[in-house]
């Protein structure tokens, strides 16, 4: 019996250590990341982070380096320089473990059209090693209003239904980092609003973070806690999307976006 208080204190200390680690460790940490394709610099020495329960918008015109950045975080592209950590795990030296903590959805990456809704979720669930997979699939089918479509092949789904399925697939493994590349592009306002609500709910629960790219500035202002403006591979501005416009003398986030796209070097120097 005399050893029990010491064991109890050790258990409390260990639990406190885990809590401190979770609170301090970012969902995503990017340090001095660079990538070139031949003579073209796609990403130029950028650093940023995504905190837990935070939605960060990665903004910029086409060709700014957003998708290249996401592909490096996903391990699809190898950085020329820099460091990426997912929940403290280095993607270079701990790749499988780091990537097991993330997931991804994008309108340009549809799921296999010859598989049904259920089959797609089962295949990706097996790839991610999701525990209690049948129960998790049923939970997501209900959460994303996909139960009536479980036996429908994805190739005949509407764009809104495909987006809901892609997001359900991205949440299969309860990722600690969720990467979304224009998840609501081409969706009608009602469907887009529903998708945004699901993502906000996901970020509010647990300890996950979200990195989101979008060209819809109204959407970004509504959803994101913080935004990064990327142009020519460099981060020009960072801050709260609801405050940044007035800080830089524009009437809206969309006006600031246009100004940065037109004169990125001037704003970067400022």
Q: Give the model confidence (pLDDT) of 177-232 as tens digits.
A: 999 988 888 788 888 888 899 899 999 988 899 999 988 899 999 999 999 999 99
Q: Are residues 166 and 221 in the same domain?
A: no
Q: Is residue 12 assigned to a domain?
A: no
Say yes or no: 261 and 182 in one domain: yes
Instruction: Note whether 153 and 212 are same-domain residues.
Output: no
Q: How confident is the model at residue 88 (pLDDT cuts 50, 70, 90)?
A: very high
Q: Which domain holds residue 141?
A: 111-174
pLDDT at residue number 262: 79
pLDDT at 20 over 50: no
Percentage of the chain exceeding pLDDT 90: 72
The answer to whether residues 143 and 260 belong to one domain is: no
Question: Is the model's pLDDT at 12 over the cut of 90?
Answer: no
In-domain check, residue 94? yes
Name the band, by pLDDT with cuts 50, 70 and 90, for residue 16.
very low
pLDDT of residue 107: 77
Q: Is 14 a member of any domain?
A: no
- Residues 190 and 161 occupy one common structural domain: no
Q: Are residues 231 and 254 in the same domain?
A: yes
* Domain co-membership, 95 together with 203: yes
Looking at the structure of the chain, the number of domains it has is 2
Per-residue model confidence (pLDDT) at position 5: 59
Q: Are residues 153 and 263 both part of a single domain?
A: no
Q: What is the pTM of this model?
A: 0.84
Claim to verify: residue 228 and residue 151 sit in the same structural domain: no
pLDDT at residue 9, as a whole number = 57
Domain boundary among 121, 142, 174: 174
* Mean residue pLDDT across the chain: 88
- Average pLDDT of the residues in 103-132: 93
Based on the domain organization, do 45 and 143 belong to the same domain? no
* Same-domain pairing of 91 and 205: yes
Q: How would residue 13 be classed by pLDDT, with cut points 50, 70 and 90?
A: very low
260 vs 269, residue with greater confidence? 260
Residue 22 has pLDDT above 70, yes or no: no
Tell me, yes or no, whether 270 lies in a domain. Answer: yes
129 and 200 in one domain? no
HEC states along the chain? CCCHHHHHHHHHHHHHHHHHHHHHCCCEEEEEEEEEECCEEEEEEEEEEECCCCEEEEECCCCCCHHHHHHHHCCCCCCCEEEEEECCEECCCCHHHHHCCEEEEECCCCCCCCCEHHHHHHHHHHHCCCCCHHHHHHHHHHHCCCHHHCCCEHHHCCHHHHHHHHHHHHCCCCCCEEEEECCCCCCCHHHHHHHHHHHHHHHHCCCCEEEEECCCHHHHHHHCCEEEEEECCEEEEEECCCCHHHHCCCCCHHHHHHHHHHCHHHHHHC
């Amino acid at each position: 019996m005399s050893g029990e208080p010491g064991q109890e204190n050790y258990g409390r200390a260990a639990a406190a250590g885990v809590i401190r680690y979770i609170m301090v460790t970012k969902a995503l940490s990017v340090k001095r990341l660079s990538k070139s394709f031949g003579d073209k610099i796609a990403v130029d020495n950028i650093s940023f982070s995504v905190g837990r329960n935070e939605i960060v918008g990665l903004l910029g015109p086409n060709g700014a380096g957003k998708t290249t950045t996401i592909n490096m975080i996903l391990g699809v592209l190898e950085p020329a320089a820099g460091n990426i950590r997912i929940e403290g795990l280095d993607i270079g030296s701990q790749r499988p473990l780091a990537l097991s903590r993330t997931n991804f959805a994008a309108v340009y990456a549809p799921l296999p059209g010859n598989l049904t809704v259920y089959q797609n979720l089962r295949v990706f669930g097996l790839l991610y090693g999701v525990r209690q997979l049948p129960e998790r699939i049923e939970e997501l089918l209900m959460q994303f209003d996909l139960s009536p479509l479980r036996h429908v092949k994805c190739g005949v789904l509407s764009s809104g239904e495909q987006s809901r399925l892609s997001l359900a697939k991205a949440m299969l493994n309860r990722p600690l980092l969720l990467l979304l590349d224009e998840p609501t592009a081409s969706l009608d306002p009602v469907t887009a609003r529903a998708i945004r609500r699901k993502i906000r709910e996901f970020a509010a629960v647990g300890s996950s973070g979200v990195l989101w790219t979008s060209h819809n500035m109204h959407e970004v202002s509504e959803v994101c806690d913080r935004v990064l403006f990327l142009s020519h591979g460099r981060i020009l501005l960072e801050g709260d999307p609801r405050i940044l416009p007035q800080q830089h003398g524009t009437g809206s986030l969309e006006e600031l976006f246009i100004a940065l796209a037109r004169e990125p070097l001037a704003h970067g120097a400022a």
